[in-house]
Amino acid sequence: MLAGPVIRHIALLVLLVVAAAACYAVGFRKGFVLLAVLGGVLEFVFWVRLLRGVPR
């Protein structure tokens, strides 16, 4: 059975948060500014997708 749009939307949001957290953790711990910025971009995408809701 294929996942519905709501499940895919939630899965993508979870993936974005995990990826952002990983980028933040590595970026701030190792001093890689690029990874910290990438974490910020991923977090921004997360908030945009969260506030837009499930695409129809």
Assigned token pair, 12: 């993508």
Q: Is residue 2's pLDDT more than 70?
A: no
Assigned token pair, 16: 């974005």
Burial class (CB in 10 A: 0-12, 13-18, 19+), 39: buried
What's the pTM value of the predicted model, to 2 decimals?
A: 0.74
Give the model's pLDDT for residue 17: 93
Which amino acid makes up residue 52? Answer: R
The pLDDT tens digits of the residues spanning 4-53 come to 888 888 899 999 999 999 998 988 888 888 888 898 899 999 999 888 87
